[in-house]
Chain A
Amino acid sequence: MIVVVGSRHDRSAVDLVSGWARYKAALLTCEDLSTPGWELRLPDRSGSRAVVSGQIVHEDDFRGVLIRRPCILDTELRHIGASDREFVTAEMNAFLLAWLAGLRCRVLNRPSGTSLCGPGWRPMQWTQAAAAAGLEVAPSTQNVPARRKRTSPRAEAPPPIEVTVVGSLSFGAPNDNYADAALRLSSYVHIPLLAVRFAGGGSTPVFSAATAMPSLRDPAVAQATCEYLTAESVPA
């Protein structure tokens, strides 16, 4: 079974579940966290079970988990009384983090502590990681309060190039340089599902941004993600 952690209002997550029906894919929503049946046992997780799409499932039945949300928002918990909503939101996020982080199956991307999906880094943290991985990076600045933007006309920048990494595969790279750079960053930060954006227009890839929750609309990327999640071996 593949579990997709997301919102029932997220069309792309719902579509992934439909497309992966032969793998018994199912959507785990915040409503499932208000359904009897969850049991997370620690420190030995044996016997732990989850509620996915309203059904109780033993963790051993999972082949892979895809996370499509960085957190649960209090505005999603309409089924919880307003006075308790902020507290329940914190509790659900804390619980999901613990549950996802300790799963034995493949998880894309395993949470880190600050996000349910990957490291939850800010743009400049990604830039620093890219530089540390050996990528050329564009200088970046952030000012508070924000400075006025220049009003003089500038030459239109070429569109950025986005490369998506799924495990050892890359998609969207115009040449090997871009593919290698994206794969190098993915490997360096130990994030197997990653979209890396480069400034366009040059033969040398210049890093500009990254996300641990890339679009999976490209059927080839979605298929590679499915194959990664259902592969037999669990990465160390």
Chain B
Amino acid sequence: MVLLWGISSDGPFAAVRDELQRIGVANRFLDQQTLLRSKISLSFEGVPGGTLTTPDWSADLSAFTAIYLRPYDPRRLAALSGLKPDSPRKLRALVFEDTLTCWLEITSARVVNRPSAMASNNSKPYQLSLIHSHGFAVPETLVTTDPAAALAFWERHGTAVYKSVSGVRSIVTQLRDEHRQRLQDVAHCPTQFQQFISGSDFRIHVVGDEVFGCEIRSCADDYRYPDRQGANVEVSSYDVPPELAERCRKLAASLNLPVAGLDLRLADSGNWFCFEVNPSPGFSFYEEATGQPIANAVARLLASAGE
């Protein structure tokens, strides 16, 4: 049986849930909005065990052979809005999520993806080092609090971008003349700058052994946010060359991510650069644009854990 933990209106989450229903795989939906009314009992006596209870159902944790999760930050859930940070109900909700997360870390079930594995994405330069150690080219990067060093980096590369170091406000922006005055602000907090790589954008989804490629055409600095620059985005299927597909599989596997979305760019030089590995990819955007059966692949991956 598969456990689904998330919000019903979330695109990828809903798509996987629909596919599980369509192919007849038993599943239980743990609605994150019910976390104030859900209960968990977790134990460890040689192996993890316990019970999960929601307003609609109760199940032994050992019954779950796979889990798919796309939870939102609980502090921003509608179910918790209006509660004071130190209110007992809010603390109970946070402890519930923490206990559930603990089980996700220690269970032998297939977890897509384990929270500890997803954590590498919370530090972009940390993940960039991991990506580079697995053979992908990565852009030259400087994280600095020194305005002069930032300016020198920019001038050396001619064109550069900046983006957040963490996963918060993660939008890529190209440095332009209006940013010169603001470079002084980097003194307050380490800021990440990267060499701009000219080329074509690709999103590669790895689902177990399956690989789905998309090519993206956009003139936006960050094609995920084209409206910021009034730009268009075109997404089309891309047949991933076998050698590249294998590198993508190995990178995702090395990061312990059964499902991952890799952001690649084929540079004008012919080198494949990898910018980031998204551990909870919003694949429904690409699926809708290309018709690629990504949700179906995720559903089959989850189902196969019980075979």
**Residues of A at under 8 Å CB distance from B?**
33-43, 51, 80, 86-88, 90-95, 97-99, 101-102, 112-114, 119, 121-122, 124-125, 127-128, 131, 137, 139-145
Distance in angstroms between the alpha carbons of A86 and B189 in the assembled complex: 12
Among A33, A102, A143, the residue within 8 A (CB) of B145 is A33
> Which one of B44, B48, B119, B123 lies within 8 Å of A98 (CB-CB)?
B123
* Alpha-carbon separation in the docked complex, A41 to B146 (Å): 13
Judge whether B98 and A34 touch: CB under 8 Å. no
> In whole angstroms, how far apart are the Cα atoms of A40 and B143 in the complex?
5
Given contacts A94-B122, A98-B125, contact A87 B169 (CB under 8 A): yes
Contact A42 B125 (CB under 8 A): yes
| A33 to B190 Cα, complex, angstroms | 7
Q: Given A128-B44, A139-B45, are A91 and B106 neighbors across the interface (CB < 8 Å)?
A: no
Question: Which of these, B46, B105, B146, B167, contacts A38 with CB under 8 Å?
Answer: B146
Chain A neighbourhood of B116, CB < 8 A: 112-114, 119
- Among B126-134, B212-220, B228-236, B299-307, the one that faces the other chain is B126-134
Tell me which of B24-32, B35-43, B173-181, B280-288 binds A. B35-43
Binding site for A on B (CB under 8 A): 39-46, 48, 50, 92, 95-96, 98-99, 101-102, 105-106, 115-116, 119-120, 122-126, 128-129, 132, 138, 140-147, 149, 164-169, 187-191
Q: Give CA–CA (A140, B190) in the complex, Å.
A: 41
Q: Is the interface of A mostly helix, strand, loop or mixed?
A: mixed
Inter-chain contact A40/B189, CB cutoff 8 Å: no
Q: Cβ of B128 and Cβ of A43 under 8 Å apart?
A: yes
Q: A50 CB to closest chain B CB, in angstroms?
A: 10
A115 to chain B, nearest CB (A): 9
Q: What are the residues of chain B within 8 A of A33 when measuring CB–CB?
A: 145, 189-190
Given contacts A37-B146, A127-B44, A142-B102, contact A88 B39 (CB under 8 A): no
Residue in A39, A80, A90, A97 whose CB lies within 8 Å of B126? A97
